Copies of this chain bind each other. A is one copy, B any other.
Amino acid sequence: MRDPLPSYPGYSLRRAANATAADLSARLGAIGMKQVDASILLLLADNPEVTASALGRQLDIQRANMVPLLKRLEDAGLIARTPIDGKSQGLALTEEGRETMTKARVIIDRFESELLARVPAEHRDHLLPALDALWR
């Protein structure tokens, strides 16, 4: 079947993103994590006491949609909230959260290196800069 779509970079971009995301999802699923969960944990590891709003801004997730996300992580005992002032609350990893984050990071690091390994050597170093130009 003749298919003109793969010659479009934008189309290949979407297909590649879907394929790799499915792969990573499966791997993170092994430790009961989703990609968003892992993103939040990684961000929290580097930025203790950030606010839910700030997290959402960084990840492009609306405030309202952060609520169930954070609730799940809190119920799982991975993050804790501490009041900053009357309306803001700081988020931080619990001890268990830190352990889970470490596991997630191992999985992600392996995933990312395998991803890069699939790219032919002559194109490899160009991938990240090219992608950055498309959304940063």
Contact = CB atoms under 8 A, between A and B. Distances in A.
A10 B20 contact: yes
B9 A127 contact: yes
Q: How many copies of the shown chain assemble into the complex?
A: 2
**Interface size classification for chain A:** 35 or more
Interface string A1-41: 11111111111111111111100100000000001000100
Contacts of A18: 17, 60, 135
Interface stretch (A67-75, A78-86, A90-98, A113-121): A113-121
Interface of A: 1-21, 24, 35, 39, 42-43, 46-47, 50, 54, 58, 60, 108, 111-112, 115-116, 118-120, 122-124, 126-136
